[in-house]
Amino acid sequence: MGTKKTKNYINRNCSELISLIMVGETMQLLSGKWKMQIITFLLNNGKTRFMDLMRGVEGISPRLLSRELQELLESKMVVRYVTNTKLVTVEYELTEDGKTLKGLLISVANRGTAHLKYLASRE
Amino acid sequence: MGTKKTKNYINRNCSELISLIMVGETMQLLSGKWKMQIITFLLNNGKTRFMDLMRGVEGISPRLLSRELQELLESKMVVRYVTNTKLVTVEYELTEDGKTLKGLLISVANRGTAHLKYLASRE
DNA sequence: CGGTATCCGTAGCGATACTG
DNA sequence: CAGTATCGCTACGGATACCG
């Protein structure tokens, strides 16, 4: 492979290439230290209250949980349910769109263990 | 679902729950604004030189590309080849481990388009 | 309970210039 | 070509206190 002119780096739809733009887009939506864990928790446990999320996603602060939930609400990956307007009960749940992240999250989790094994095997 | 004692939120291996810890672990490894795009590009194009990565991953600075490549090298997801020690030719390539990210990246990219469609359908 | 307000440190990122 | 050095910013995240 010599240095021909300049390669065509723009992704063509007809090929099997993975779109850099879409990858960037998605990763931006999922950016934030806790977002993936929040989604994972909701995937595992379904509709969940704020304080239960606090307990479930270990280490997160209320400020950050609140912020990242809002971002997930904005991008429509999560819905918010308020039950008692006076005595306050709020639950969060993944939308249908949010639930489509399941396969992705499974891949992510599996890769975690696979990577650890890979590292172990090389040393 | 009332407020029973405290739910058991620790993931058990025997269930189908996705491990929060592994998700966190992986996402930390993949953190950095450009890492996923770099991996995607290498997945699409195979062994690639530094400057070609610069051109391929649009918007990235040499500083950041250098840094993120080093991190990928440290976590053994990428290999570095030097050909001419004097006239300098360097190429980067995914390791076998790095290549296992393909499914993940495809999910990520697909979700990008799916998400856009979802948003469009709701307004 | 379900958050927001405030404060603050640092790590992440960008732009640019420079080097072997 | 393949990076590193320097600089400066701001956005992200942590801790804590407080509010309806």
Query: What does each C-alpha distance from B94 to A6, A99, B1, B70 come to in angstroms?
Result: 22, 30, 48, 13
Q: How confident is the model at residue A87 (pLDDT cuts 50, 70, 90)?
A: confident
Three-state DSSP class for residue A10? coil
The answer to whether the CB atoms of B109 and A22 lie below 8 A apart is yes
- Picking from B105, B113, B122 by the largest number of A CB atoms within 10 A of its own CB, the best residue to mutate is B105
* Interchain contact A89–B (C-beta under 8 A): no
Tell me if chain B has a CB within 8 Å of the CB of A120.
Answer: no
Q: What is the average pLDDT across B23-36?
A: 92
Q: Tens of pLDDT along B77-87?
A: 999 999 987 77
pLDDT tens digits for range A28-62: 999 999 999 999 999 999 999 999 999 999 999 99
Residues B39-71, buried b or exposed e (16+ Cβ, 10 A)?
bbbbbbeeebbbebbeebbeebeeebbeebbeb
Indicate if the pLDDT at residue A6 is higher than 70: no
Domains along chain B with CATH numbers: 32-121 (1.10.10.10)
